Copies of this chain bind each other. A is one copy, B any other.
Amino acid sequence: LPETGNKRIVIIGAGFGGLKLARELTRQHDYQVVLIDKHNYHQFQPLLYQVATAGIEASAISFPIRKAFQKQNNIHVRIATVQSVDTLNKRLWSNIGVINFDYLVIATGAVTNFFGMEHVKYFSMPMKTVTEAMELRNKILENYEKAIATEDKNELVALMTLVIVGGGPTGVELAGAIAEMKNFVLPKDYPELDFKLMRIVLIESNDRLIKTMSNSASKKALQYLRKLGVEIVCSTRVTDYDGHIVETNKGEKILSNTLIWTSGVQGCVPDGMESYLSGASNRILVDEYNRVIGLKDVFVIGDAAHMTEKNFPYGHPQVAQVAIQQAKNLAGNFKRDFYGYTWKPFHYKNLGSMATVGRNLAVVDLPFIRFQGFIAWLFWMFIHLFAIVGVKNRLMIFINWFWNYFTYDQSLRIIFKSKS
């Protein structure tokens, strides 16, 4: 990396937070920015479930990071894996060598939390990345190919049953999309199978779905999903899974070849930062400026940061909006720092939350209004199209949605394996 005389800000992670921060910082030329990610693309995670259910292409929600900065020359993008951080000497180790920094921003987000259940971790499928979503799509399709070839009744049932753990937005959206596949697509593709045998079970440990949303949203989501044929089990936790039988704390055993785990996340924190963890879900304790408590030049934004605010005594929700708002605030503070102004503390502004259920319904909670149904679904579509990076991605997703909506046909039912 060249020395430019400017102070160097190294950002780890090009998710919602890291990408936003880099974009804000490259508008002015006060700093040299280095953006590190292990992938060469930014992932739009809210639509992962549509990749997993063959509705949109993986590439439509993946945006090449370099493309975002083609017109900037004070940024250096590096595709690399960070191995550890040395906060004392202000440098980090990566698979492409040592990188020094003046300021470090950790925007590494969160990974799936299996709560220490090793069997579940080994046998279940998470869905936090584009590649995991593609693997899930492969698995679902392969199940039915295998089901056609089997003569064992138990195996047939296990192959045709999907259990989703976690009744948050991801679990609800995924369950709805799979139910639509069951209702409209799969019986046409596999006329030899009896789809009355197919079960979609959604298991949630809380007493209602999408606990982060209003009661009315929860109720409607439940109602919509039941109508689509999803079995919903609340107040229940999965305790074990051996690849064939899902066990719950209520003593229930469900025969299923596919357990999809969307039940929780924990901060993804590089080595060398262990002593700054808050204890809760592996997040790093930061002050109101996103500065790591106990360090001067190291910051954490987004899912990996644990900041308490008056309304958020246990930290902010791990959602895109928090990461984006923290990135904006921190970028502003770096600019203030350059000109010698006082830093501004972060305050989260809740813009609302929403989830889609099936092909044309959704639930929406905004700060001043709540609504559900078809209008909510249109609103959800509009917001998501607007939020995605890249004009072409937007166009492609819109065409896919339009197509799927009128043909009742998710057409990307392709099993791509890395080895042909």
Contacts and interface: CB of A to CB of B under 8 A. Distances in A.
Interface stretch (A24-32, A348-356, A409-417): A409-417
A39 to B, nearest CB: 7
A420 B78 contact: no
Given A40-B145, A40-B415, A415-B39, A420 B64 contact: no
Contact of A129 (B132, B141, B192, B420): B420
Interface stretch (A284-292, A325-333, A389-397): A389-397
Interface string A112-150: 000000000000000001111011000001000100110
Q: Which of A132, A141, A188, A191 neighbours the largest number of chain B CB atoms within 10 Å of its CB? A: A191
Contact of A399 (B79, B141, B396, B415): B396
Nearest to A70: B188
A66 interface: yes
B399 A96 contact: no
Interface in A65-105: 66-67, 70, 73, 76, 78-80, 96-97
A58 interface: yes
A411 B399 contact: no
Contact of A78 (B67, B78, B149): B149
A93 to B, nearest CB: 14
A67 B420 contact: no
Nearest to A42: B414
B78 A415 contact: no
Contacts of A141: 40
Identical subunits present: 2
Q: Which of A73, A141, A189, A420 neighbours the largest number of chain B CB atoms within 10 Å of its CB? A: A420
Contact of A418 (B80, B390, B417): B417
Contacts of A224: none
A379 interface: no
A392 B411 contact: yes
Interface residues of A, number: 50
Given A64-B189, A403-B392, A413 B39 contact: no
- Helix, strand, loop or mixed for chain A's interface? mixed
A58 B60 CA distance: 12
Contacts of A70: 188-189, 191
Interface string A168-202: 00000000000000000000111110000000000
Contacts of A62: 414, 416
Given A40-B141, A58-B414, A62-B414, 19 more contacts: A39-B420, A40-B145, A40-B414, A41-B414, A57-B59, A59-B414, A62-B416, A64-B189, A64-B411, A64-B414, A66-B190, A66-B413, A76-B192, A79-B145, A135-B418, A390-B411, A392-B411, A396-B399, A418-B418
Interface of A: 39-41, 57-59, 62, 64, 66-67, 70, 73, 76, 78-80, 96-97, 129-132, 134-135, 141, 145, 148-149, 188-192, 390, 392, 395-396, 399, 403, 409, 411-420
